[in-house]
Amino acid sequence: MNVISPQPWMLHPDDETMSRDALAALQLNRLRGTLTRAYENVPHYRRAFDARGVTPADLTDLSDLRHFPFTGKSDLRDNYPYGLFAVPRREVVRVHASSGTTGKPTVVGYTAGDLDCWADLMARSMATAGVRPDDVVHNSYGYGLFTGGLGAHAGAERLGCAVVPMSGGNTERQISLIMDLEATALCATPSYALNMAEVADSMGIDLRRSPLRIGLFGAEPWSEGMRAQLEERLGVRANDVYGLSEIMGPGVAVECPQRCGLHGWEDHFLFEVVDPETLEPLPMGSAGELVITTLTKEALPMIRYRTRDITRLSDEPCACGRTHVRIMRVTGRNDDMLIIRGVNVYPSQIEAVMVGFPGTTPHYQLIVDREGVLDTLSVQVEAAPDLAAEGYSKVAADVRHHIKSMIGVTCGVTVLRPGDVPRSQGKAVRVRDLRRAPDRQGPGSRGAPVSNAP
Ligand code: DLL
């Protein structure tokens, strides 16, 4: 285990500033080991490699990874619950699961070594974002099967912080405890953090006057507008943290103070961006789907896992001194994309247009429906508390016009009264897709998607 370095801003300076050549050599070595363990211990990988006519011995260079098969969420489902595990069950000491939108959950597992590594990487991520050992970390990520709560908890403890293990919900109590225990760092989804700011306001508490100074927000897409709102209302510096259960949980990548993308920890993960249609790897800098291969995971090695997250990578040197690749802010998932009358729309684009819009609050929902053969989009946005009822229709028309001119999509806009858009307790539900409502479909079909909120 790494110990805290004398340079307070880097927890693992040797690892975080490794030359790109040294990183590539380490990756090649670790990748060979991972492919071999997967091939030898996981029947699914053996079958998938055989079907592509490759064996671990075919990897002589990192670029050879392109010949190996992808892994998707459906492979986890098809091998539910333990079929992709590469170690005997007695070596697994923890499982987590995500509820997903339909059917069986996705189960992931960890050896004691995996948990140790995760705590290290989450501690490294927190330190990179600016959290320090003397911080009091109020952790509002959900505890339980969701990886957010226990992942952030272990990282904060490993860094040496005092952790308040709150989980989500019971928001008034959370606000009181933030004040009483003098929390200096907040871990939460950005939508829940905004909910907390609102509840604090209603309690007459100004969180900007509290000792809170830093926020570590992730688990869902959020915009620069949302960042501005969170910084203004909570009085924190808001940093982005990324991760996913299939790969580990939170701590796969994090923003450093330069805020020019999230450093993805390449000593433990190999990042590719592929064209979502052709699945061909794209050159550094191109936008596409993020694909991640684990390099050190023992219980659940993942080979070329298709995250569905849309982003691009940058290996330009970062002023912070860290050499690890930067993953640009994830703005959405390719399975989130809506096609409205031929225009591709990501919910995050709507958020980028709307958050901070005069006369509204940053709470919104998108309703997708179908009229005949055409998909329709309507946006429900909430009126600011000081907006008079007579002003609603003008705000609706302005938002509609703005969305049309910025994104090119025509949508209906309804302005709801303050408090009428449901508040997030974890991951926000931004889209209600009525096209898949149960009463619109035949027997055996699935219902409308629900959030995989913790
Ligand atoms: O959300 C792990 C996590 C917990 C990350 C706490 C950060 C903080 P899952 O529930 O498996 O794991 O969901 C993973 O959430 O593929 C993205 O689509 C989305 N996501 C996670 N972090 C971000 C982020 C956790 N910073 C899925 N920005 C991922 C945008 C994010 N999307």
Q: State which fold the 338-453 domain adopts.
A: GMP Synthetase; Chain A, domain 3 (3.30.300)
pLDDT 10s digits, 265-317:
999 999 999 999 999 999 999 999 999 999 999 999 999 999 999 999 999 99
Please give the structure tokens belonging to residue 148. Answer: 């957010």
Q: 330, 427, 430: which to mutate for ligand 1, most atoms within 8 A of CB?
A: 330
- HSE-CB of 103 using CA atoms within 13 angstroms: 11
Specify the ligand 1 atom closest to the Cα of 307: 16
CA of 218 to the centre of ligand 1 (A): 6
Q: How many other C-beta atoms can be found within 10 angstroms of the C-beta atom of residue 250?
A: 30
CB atoms within 10 A of CB 277: 9
**Which atom of ligand 1 has the smallest separation from the CA of 333?**
18
Question: Measured between alpha carbons, how far is 137 from 115 in angstroms, rounded to an integer?
Answer: 20
Name the residue of 186, 226, 242, 308 to mutate for ligand 1: max ligand atoms within 8 A of Cβ: 242
List the single range of 156-160, 222-226, 296-300 with lowest mean pLDDT. 222-226
Residues 6 or more apart whose CB falls under 8 angstroms from that of 74 comprise none
Point out the least confidently predicted range of 139-153, 160-174, 311-325, 345-359: 345-359
Measured from the CB, is residue 73 less than 6 Å from ligand 1?
Answer: no
Beta strands in 295-390 (DSSP E): 305-311, 313-314, 326-327, 332-333, 338-340, 343-345, 360-371, 374-383
Q: How many C-beta neighbours within 10 Å does residue 134 have?
A: 10
| pLDDT (tens digit per residue) in 372-417 | 878 899 999 999 999 999 999 999 999 999 999 999 999 999 999 9
What is the token pair recorded at 291? 């694909």
The reported pLDDT for the residue numbered 444 is 33
Ligand 1 midpoint to CA 241 (Å): 8
Which residue reads 């919104």 in tokens?
364
Return the pLDDT at 83: 97
CA distance 243 to 155: 13
CA nearest 245: which of 125, 140, 423, 114? 114
What share of the chain in percent tops pLDDT 70?
Answer: 93
Q: Are 99 and 108 in contact (CB under 8 A)?
A: no
- Does residue 361's CB lie within 6 angstroms of at least one atom of ligand 1? no
Please report the beta strands in 35-91, taking only residues with DSSP state E, as ranges in sequence order. Answer: none
Residue 244 beta carbon below 6 angstroms from any ligand 1 atom: yes
Q: How far is the CA of 253 from the centre of ligand 1 (A)?
A: 10
Measured in angstroms, how far is the CA atom of residue 359 from the centroid of ligand 1?
30
**Nearest 5 degrees, angle CA 324-CA 330-CA 333?**
130
Query: Stretch 12-40: mean pLDDT, rounded?
Result: 98
User: What is the number of other CB atoms lying within 10 angstroms of the CB of residue 139?
Assistant: 27
| d(C-alpha 247, C-alpha 73), whole Å | 11
Other beta carbons within 10 Å of 61: 8
Output the CA torsion 154→159→163→165 (10° steps).
Answer: -20
Quick check: CB of 454 below 6 Å from ligand 1?
no
- Within 8 A by CB and 6+ apart from 90, the residues are none
Q: How many CB atoms lie within 10 A of CB 66?
A: 12
Question: Is the Cβ–Cβ distance between 215 and 194 less than 8 Å?
Answer: no
For residue 151, give both structure tokens: 């992942």
Q: Are the CB atoms for 340 and 411 separated by under 8 Å?
A: yes
* Token reading at 30: 């670790």
Over residues 37-51, the mean pLDDT reads 98
Q: Which residue has the higher pLDDT, 271 or 439?
A: 271
pLDDT value at residue 451: 36
User: Residue 176 above 50 pLDDT?
Assistant: yes
Inter-axis angle of helices 347-354 and 392-407, nearest 10: 130
Cβ–Cβ < 8 Å for 281, 272: yes
pLDDT tens per residue, range 236-277:
999 999 999 999 999 999 999 999 999 999 999 999 999 999
Q: Does the beta carbon of 191 lie inside 6 Å of ligand 1?
A: no
pLDDT at 6: 42
| Arithmetic mean of pLDDT over the chain | 92
* CATH number 3.40.50.12780 given to 1-333: yes
Q: Where are the domains of the chain?
A: 1-333, 338-453
